[in-house]
Amino acid sequence: MFLIFDNIIIIEYMAIFKLKFFKQHKSIFMTKTKKVLLLILICFISTNTFSNPFIRLDSIGLAKTKKMIENGTASEITLIAYKKLINNANKLLKSNNPTVLDKTILPPSGNKHDYLSISRYWWPNADTIDGLPWVRHDGKTNPDTQTDAVDRRRLGFMGESVWRLSLAYYFTKNEAYSKKAISMIETWFLNPTTLMNPHLEFAQTVPGNPNKRATGILDGRSIVMCVPDAINLLSVSENWEPKHKIKTTKWLSDYLTWLTKSDLGIKGSMQENNHGSWYRYQVASLALYLDDKQLVKQMVEITQNSLDKMLNIEGGQIHELARSRSFFYSCFNLQALTNIAVLGDKVGMNMWQFETENKKSLFLAINYLTPVLNGKKWNYNTLKPIDLSGLIPVIAKIPAKYNSETYKKALENILKITEEKDINNKLLEFWLLHTSN
């Protein structure tokens, strides 16, 4: 695994350590214990300075991967991942830009610029003539909720497309990729005739139920997990103009304001299950990107305190264990929690070692799931066979100083098992962004 550094630290080191300094003091750094530091500092110099902190990505790790690809020292699976990324990006160059205006069902507001989705686990009511109101069957996706009549798939496609195109641009400096990614951002966020309004008032609606649903805020993951970091990568492109920075910052600021100030956003903040965790991750991520570190700290603190109600004494996630896909949702919630812990690292808060008064902690929750890797039976509901790959993004985020041999071996086992079954896009992306030394 590569080391993770905050961009502020990167900038400080870049200001202090110049290439001339290395040439003059080469002997000082070339001891065995200093070689790793030298490699990292060289990566600092070889990396463009980005204007905002990264949320998911690590600029040092990216620079290292890029260098290894260029000099032929990258592993075979990293090269496979790189080639897959470029192939996907090339296909995206020919795709149409998605927009919320493409939906065929109007939201209750009558405004197509308002995002609309239908909650996936809800089905027509067999006990009523018109099938309304729809009823919930947890874990069973109604395919009619995932069509292009609403915006959910388009939002996901937009986020993933911008993400992949920006990474392809970073690795190749091919401006065709940046131009396409920026055009997608313009269509979805900036162009007045095609943009999405910065709110999720009509996300995860239920036919026959007129009430707005805070659970729909979960859909915003596709924006927050992909777009801010993509913008950072694209900011050094010749196609990125000052107007793009100004307008995207305003859209993301307006969305953050809606999350934290609107009635539905406030309701979303009170959720105690994975929805609450992903809400706090969105707020903390946007706050970090927009340089509101106090709000990041607030979200980390609230998340830490939420562990008391979220976990049982053994570390099981109470709300997720009650779901029909209990293992999946336990991993899904842990992804949000570990993501927040990483954001905490960036603002000087150590959520990894935090314990509540009742000894609830992040590692307690992680350790509740990892025994399944060694064959321990999972005694809760699961509609589908357990997919261990859900633990990859959880264990991979554990900082090196806490990453014991147990966790390292657990990650190796998951990767081995997953690779034997299917090397999918998610796994390939892991190898592209997690380069071995």
Rounded average pLDDT over 271-278:
98
80 pLDDT higher than 50 = yes
CA distance to 14, 171, 428, per residue, from 70 (Å): 23, 9, 18
User: What are the boundaries of each domain within the chain?
Assistant: 93-270
CA trace torsion 276, 279, 284, 285 (10° rounding): 140
**What's the Rg (C-alpha) of the chain?**
22
Residue 330, exposed/middle/buried by CB under 10 A (0-12, 13-18, 19+)?
Answer: buried
Q: Mind listing the pLDDT tens digit for each residue in 155-193?
A: 999 999 999 999 999 999 999 999 999 999 999 999 999
404 pLDDT higher than 50 = yes
- Weakest mean pLDDT among 18-27, 266-275, 280-289, 310-319: 18-27
d(CA 269, CA 155): 22
Q: Mind listing the pLDDT tens digit for each residue in 39-71?
A: 555 445 444 568 789 999 998 889 999 999 999
Rounded average pLDDT over 254-259:
98
Residue 116 banded pLDDT, cuts 50, 70, 90: very high
CA distance to 54, 102, 220, per residue, from 291 (Å): 11, 34, 20
Rounded average pLDDT over 325-333:
98
State the DSSP code for 198: S
Rounded average pLDDT over 303-311:
98
423 pLDDT higher than 80 = no
Residue 428 banded pLDDT, cuts 50, 70, 90: confident
Nearest to 319 by CA among 380, 375, 268, 269: 380
Quote the pLDDT of residue 5.
33
Q: Are 237 and 175 in contact (CB under 8 A)?
A: yes
201 pLDDT higher than 80 = yes
Q: Is the dihedral of CA 343, 349, 351, 357 positive or negative?
A: negative
Residue with token string 């999720």: 200
Q: Under 8 Å CB-to-CB from 130, ≥6 apart: which residues? A: 208
CA distance to 92, 218, 226, 431, per residue, from 192 (Å): 23, 25, 22, 38
Tokens of 366: 């992680």
389: left (phi over 0), alpha (psi -120 to 50) or beta: alpha
8 pLDDT higher than 90 = no
d(CA 137, CA 135): 7
Nearest to 343 by CA among 64, 14, 4: 4
Q: What angle do CA 34, 37, 40 make, to 5 degrees?
A: 155
Tokens of 69: 């690809």
State the DSSP code for 209: B
Rounded average pLDDT over 17-41:
46
d(CA 14, CA 429): 28
Indicate the average pLDDT of the chain: 89
Rounded to the nearest 5°, which phi and psi values hold at 264? -70, -40
Tokens of 383: 């509609």
Rounded average pLDDT over 30-44:
49
Quote the pLDDT of residue 434.
80
d(CA 279, CA 260): 10
Q: Domain 93-270 is in which class?
A: mainly alpha
Residue 296 banded pLDDT, cuts 50, 70, 90: very high
